[in-house]
Amino acid sequence: MAFSAMIHNHLPATVNAGINRISAINAHREVVFDHPKTNKATNYKGARRLAESLSSLLNLHIETPLRKTNLQQSNNWDNLFHEEKHDTPTTSPKESVADKWRELHGSMDWNNLFDPLHPWLRREIVKYGEFAQATYDAFDFDSHSEYCGSCRYNRNRLFEKLGLTKNGYKVTKYIYAMSHIEMPQWLERSHLMDTWSKDSNWMGYVAVSDDEETRRIGRRDIVVAWRGTVVPSEWYEDFQRKLEPIGLGDSKVEHGFLSIYTSKDESTRYNKSSASDQVMKEVMKLVKFYEGKGEQVSLTITGHSLGGALALLNAYEAALHFPGLPVSVISFGAPRVGNCAFRDELDELGVKTLRVIVKQDLVPRMPGIVFNESLEKFDDITGTLEWVYTHVGAELRLDVTSSPYLKRGFNPLGFHSLETYLHLVDGYLSAETTFRSDARRDVSLVNKACDMLVDELRIPTCWYQLANKGLVCNEHGRWVKPRRDPEDIPSPIGSETHDHSLRLEMQQSYKMLYAS
Amino acid sequence: MAFSAMIHNHLPATVNAGINRISAINAHREVVFDHPKTNKATNYKGARRLAESLSSLLNLHIETPLRKTNLQQSNNWDNLFHEEKHDTPTTSPKESVADKWRELHGSMDWNNLFDPLHPWLRREIVKYGEFAQATYDAFDFDSHSEYCGSCRYNRNRLFEKLGLTKNGYKVTKYIYAMSHIEMPQWLERSHLMDTWSKDSNWMGYVAVSDDEETRRIGRRDIVVAWRGTVVPSEWYEDFQRKLEPIGLGDSKVEHGFLSIYTSKDESTRYNKSSASDQVMKEVMKLVKFYEGKGEQVSLTITGHSLGGALALLNAYEAALHFPGLPVSVISFGAPRVGNCAFRDELDELGVKTLRVIVKQDLVPRMPGIVFNESLEKFDDITGTLEWVYTHVGAELRLDVTSSPYLKRGFNPLGFHSLETYLHLVDGYLSAETTFRSDARRDVSLVNKACDMLVDELRIPTCWYQLANKGLVCNEHGRWVKPRRDPEDIPSPIGSETHDHSLRLEMQQSYKMLYAS
Contact A455 B229 (CB under 8 A): no
Q: Which residue of A has its CA nearest to B13?
A: A43
Q: Which of A193, A237, A455, A478 is the mutation pick for testing B, counting most B CBs within 10 A?
A: A478
Q: Write the DSSP string, B401-432.
A: GG-TTB--S--HHHHH-HHHHHHHHHH---SS
B206, B286 in Cβ contact below 8 A? yes
Least confident of A57-61, A288-292, B22-26, B481-485: B22-26
Distance CA A358, CA A364 (A): 8
For residue B196, the SS3 value is: coil
Q: pLDDT > 70: what percent of chain A?
A: 71
The dihedrals phi and psi of A475, each to the nearest 5 degrees, come to -65, -15
Q: pLDDT > 90: what percent of chain A?
A: 52
Tell me the pairing of strands A472-473 and A394-398. unpaired
Helix, strand, coil percent content, chain B, rounded in steps of 5: 45, 15, 40
Task: Work out the burial of residue B296: count CB atoms within 10 Å of its CB; fewer than 13 is exposed, 13-18 middle, 19 or more buried.
Answer: middle
Contact B17 A12 (CB under 8 A): no
Condensed to tens digits (0 to 9), the pLDDT of residues A315-341 reads 999 999 999 999 999 999 998 888 889
Comparing C-alpha atoms, which of B356, B360, B364 is closest to residue B406? B360
**Residue from B361, B426, B451, B488 carrying the catalytic annotation:** B361
For chain A, the domain total comes to 1
Q: Which residue of A has its CA nearest to B46?
A: A13
B68 occurs within a structural domain: no
For residue B124, the SS3 value is: helix
Task: Please report the residues numbered 124 through 163 in chain A whose beta carbons come closer than 8 angstroms to any beta carbon of chain B.
Answer: 141-145, 163
A363, A3 in Cβ contact below 8 A? yes
Residues of chain B with pLDDT under 50: 1-45, 57-80, 82-84, 231, 233-241, 371-374, 386, 494-498, 510, 513-516
The dihedrals phi and psi of A95, each to the nearest 5 degrees, come to -95, 160
Task: Please report the residues numbered 238 through 277 in chain A whose beta carbons come closer than 8 angstroms to any beta carbon of chain B.
Answer: none
B69 occurs within a structural domain: no
Task: Please report the residues numbered 6 through 25 in chain B whose beta carbons come closer than 8 angstroms to any beta carbon of chain A.
Answer: 8-9, 12-14, 16-17, 20-21, 23-24
B146 occurs within a structural domain: yes
**CA angle, residues B385, B391, B392, in degrees to nearest 5:** 145
Condensed to tens digits (0 to 9), the pLDDT of residues A192-227 reads 677 888 889 999 999 999 999 999 999 999 999 999
CA distance A508 to chain B (A): 34
Other Cβ atoms less than 10 A from the Cβ of B60: the count is: 17
A and B: number of Cβ contacts within 8 A: 244
Global pTM reads 0.79
Distance CA A276, CA A247 (A): 14
A9 occurs within a structural domain: no
Q: Which residue of B has its CA nearest to A137?
A: B31
Between B313 and A498, the higher pLDDT residue: B313
Q: What is the pLDDT of residue B189?
A: 73
Q: Is the dihedral of CA B6, B11, B13, B19 positive or negative?
A: negative
Distance CA B390, CA B413 (A): 24
Q: What is the pLDDT of residue A224?
A: 98
Other Cβ atoms less than 10 A from the Cβ of B500: the count is: 10
Task: Please report the residues numbered 440 through 459 in chain A whose beta carbons come closer than 8 angstroms to any beta carbon of chain B.
Answer: 442, 444-445, 448-449, 455, 458-459
Q: What is the pLDDT of residue B224?
A: 98
A482 occurs within a structural domain: yes
B409 occurs within a structural domain: no
Tell me, yes or no, if A49 comes closer than 8 A to chain B by beta carbon: no
Q: What is the CATH number of the domain that holds A486?
A: 3.40.50.1820
Contact A89 B476 (CB under 8 A): yes
What length does chain B have?
516
Contact B231 A12 (CB under 8 A): no
Average of pLDDT values for A270-283? 96
Other Cβ atoms less than 10 A from the Cβ of B359: the count is: 15
Between B481 and A170, the higher pLDDT residue: A170
B7 occurs within a structural domain: no
Q: What is the pLDDT of residue A98?
A: 95
Q: Which residues of A are marked as active site?
A: 305, 361, 416
Comparing C-alpha atoms, which of A186, A172, A223, A232 is closest to residue A367? A232
Q: What is the pLDDT of residue B434?
A: 86
Residue B20: list chain A partners with CB under 8 A: 17, 20-21, 24
CA distance B231 to chain A (A): 9
Range of the domain at A141: 89-398+466-514
Contact A23 B27 (CB under 8 A): yes
Residue B321's DSSP bridge partners are none
Helices (H), A59-169: 77, 84-86, 101-104, 119-137, 158-161
Q: What is the pLDDT of residue A323?
A: 94
CA distance A181 to chain B (A): 17
For residue A455, the SS3 value is: helix
Least confident of A70-79, A175-184, B156-165: A70-79
Distance CA B414, CA B7 (A): 13
Tell me, yes or no, if B437 comes closer than 8 A to chain A by beta carbon: no
A444 occurs within a structural domain: no
Other Cβ atoms less than 10 A from the Cβ of A107: the count is: 14
Q: Is the dihedral of CA A320, A323, A325, A328 positive or negative?
A: positive
B152, B481 in Cβ contact below 8 A? no
Q: What is the pLDDT of residue A70?
A: 42
Contact B444 A480 (CB under 8 A): yes
Q: Is the dihedral of CA A196, A199, A203, A206 positive or negative?
A: negative
Q: Is the ipTM of this complex over 0.85?
A: no
What length does chain A have?
516
Task: Work out the burial of residue A83: count CB atoms within 10 Å of its CB; fewer than 13 is exposed, 13-18 middle, 19 or more buried.
Answer: exposed
Tell me, yes or no, if B407 comes closer than 8 A to chain A by beta carbon: no
